[in-house]
Amino acid sequence: MSDDGKRSKLEHLKETSRQLRGTIAEELENPEPFFSADAAQLLKHHGSYMQDDRDVRRQKNEDGTKKEKAWSCMVRTRIPGGRVTADQFLAELDLCDRLGAGTVRITSRQGFQLHGVLKKNLRQTIRDINASGLTTLAACGDVNRNVMCCPAPVQTPVRRRIQELAQELADHFRPRTTAYRDIWLIDDEDRRIRLQEPTIVEEPIYGTCYLPRKFKMAIALPEDNCVDVYTQDIGLLAIAEQDHIVGYNVIVGGGMGRTPSAEKTFPALGQPLACVAPDQVVAVCEAIVCVQRDYGNRADRKRARMKYLVADWGLPRFRSVVEEYYGQPLNDPQDVCVTGVEDHIGWHEQGDGRLFLGINIENGRIQDTAERKIKTGLRAVISQYRMDTRLTALQSVILCDIDPADRMDIDRMLAEHGIPPEEDLSLLRRYSMACPAFPTCGLSITEAERVLPGLIDQLDAITSELGLEDEKIAVHMTGCPNGCARPYTPDVGLVGRSVGKYTVFLGGNAQGTRLAFVYDDQVPLDEIADRLRPLLTAWRDERQAGESFGDYCHRIGRDGLRQRAA
């Protein structure tokens, strides 16, 4: 166990929670619209966050007093590799209308989120998600969260194997506690009995306190890092020969969150630790997780992610301890790195005579608006053709296994609902991403999802004017520094700093292989596009062959960019 001093209050809460039960079940029965602070912390491990509508929080009653907080729950579904059947997708759409706020959000980790679920409807929502064959268990909390994987349904042995591995890892690292079943899934009478005399089971990986902080894994291919493999606690980069996987480079210590006022915190890219054979992957990952369990910082949650353990120890010591836990030496990583990234939007061949179609869902929000009936359109197409779907790490959706004869009809149906085809979307928009921020996220400092589309409109106009409209530029925006939309690796990262103002990061890339640097701070939203214009102009005029905007910014550096902007 880490000797970093006194453990935090949350560590004691987890240890005494009777394996994540706490008082959740009792509080579900009371009339309050919210959970206590302790119960809300444990609730995360079951896949739900307490939230309140921050738009309402700002409002006042007629007598000038503040309105009561409008409490609700966010419910997140864990979906390894983003694989969702037609029935499961339709069930989630039905749930958002029946028990949620009318929208479904695709997350940056290939899951679903429902917002606006009232506490009184939480048990029914979780039961219905499980009835569809999905789960919310371990979608949040101090455990291994959703295992990401390139979702493209290309029918090759390599693609099939990495998607199978995502499910294997998800199953292996699933918490064993029976609390989830006892609280949410069994009938009332049995539930009362089980809660009075809970069954305590062994947690062979997580122990009594679970992990010091959240833990993330992803699997990628060198030619397509669509899941940002270097931003994970454990990234697995598949190495293939003759269409078969011969090993994986294991990458450790990535993570995006930071606190600007605390220099001890920072975003980090993962580092190659070792190369392992396919049959070693699960056991080596378990050894890494257990090292983090036993040595991760349990006193200071701001430094509890594994990236800080790797940074503090150094990679050689970290590897040595992992080898002790694994029981044998590890082979050095191979000289394999990421070379590309795809968003999988548009029509593509699967390799088995069928097609798949990637549909851009801006910032992941499946909803109907006056211009676009995305929710209604997806419901119509999936209901008619019953195709399986995949969720992408850029918060979009893939429709799988499409008969080529149905292509024109599907295009027609989507067009009737205002859902734009690939050719009507700029690369800027396709590779953009934002976190939810206001009004639901309690950590958000400023807007993200609600303002990024307008900013992309401005940037599209500038790039079109400069003749750069066909260039791939990734823009990620978050409402706070926690980094949920991975803003520290793209060409342009925009991180909420104060109300209406952002820190501008430049010099990353769409492939996610390099950290960006702080270019400017406290930039008002309405000035961002104008401040980027001279830099985009300089890139157009000075770039080297094949040089992306992020590559150019990295080469020129902050001072050079500021000179060009003067």
CB crowding 146-158: b at 16 or more within 10 Å, else e? bbbbbbbbbeeeb
Q: Tell me, what's the pLDDT at 352?
A: 97
Annotated catalytic residue 275:
no
Residue 500 has pLDDT above 50, yes or no: yes
Q: Give me the catalytic one of 480, 514, 533, 553.
A: 480
Q: Just give the CATH number of 9-326.
A: 3.30.413.10
Mean pLDDT within 441-454? 96
Residues of the chain with CATH 3.30.413.10: 9-326, 429-565
Annotated catalytic residue 9:
no
Measured between alpha carbons, how far is 222 from 338 in angstroms, rounded to an integer? 4
Q: Give me the catalytic one of 73, 400, 435, 553.
A: 435
Annotated catalytic residue 214:
yes
Q: Give me the catalytic one of 7, 14, 21, 76.
A: 76
In the chain, pLDDT over 90 holds for what percent of residues? Answer: 93
Give yes or no for a contact between 422 and 470, defined as CB atoms under 8 angstroms apart: no
Mean pLDDT within 124-152? 98
CATH pick for 429-565 out of 3.30.590.10, 3.30.413.10, 1.10.468.10, 3.40.640.10: 3.30.413.10
Least confident of 185-194, 369-378, 407-416: 185-194
Q: Which two tokens stand for residue 411?
A: 């295009």
pLDDT tens for 292-325 read 999 999 999 999 999 999 999 999 999 999 999 9
Alpha helix (H) ranges present in 173-280? 179-180, 188-196
Annotated catalytic residue 337:
no
Q: Give me the catalytic one of 285, 484, 514, 553.
A: 484
The phi, psi pair for 111, rounded to 5°, reads: -115, -175
Q: Give me the catalytic one of 7, 109, 119, 145.
A: 145
Mean pLDDT within 496-525? 97
Annotated catalytic residue 484:
yes
| Nearest to 288, CA basis, from 221, 239, 227, 235 | 235
Q: Tell me, what's the pLDDT at 74?
A: 98
- Give residue 24's Cα distance to chain centre: 26
Please name the residues in contact with 530: beta carbons below 8 A apart, sequence gap of 6 or more: none
Residue 196 has pLDDT above 90, yes or no: no
The sign one gets for the Cα dihedral 143, 218, 476, 424 is negative
Measured between alpha carbons, how far is 315 from 318 in angstroms, rounded to an integer? 5
pLDDT tens for 363-396 read 999 999 999 999 999 999 999 999 999 999 999 9
Q: Give me the catalytic one of 14, 83, 214, 293.
A: 214
Alpha helix (H) ranges present in 177-329? 179-180, 188-196, 281-295, 306-313, 315-326
Measured between alpha carbons, how far is 280 from 125 in angstroms, rounded to an integer? 38
Q: Give me the catalytic one of 209, 441, 472, 497.
A: 441
Written as one letter, the residue type at 551 is D
Mean pLDDT within 212-229? 98
Q: Tell me, what's the pLDDT at 5?
A: 60
Measured between alpha carbons, how far is 375 from 369 in angstroms, rounded to an integer? 9
Q: Which of the four pLDDT bands, split at 50, 70 and 90, describes residue 232?
A: very high
Which H or E run contains 91? helix 86-98
Q: Give me the catalytic one of 78, 216, 429, 472.
A: 216
Is 0.85 surpassed by the pTM of this model? yes
Residue 1 has pLDDT above 50, yes or no: no
Annotated catalytic residue 73:
no
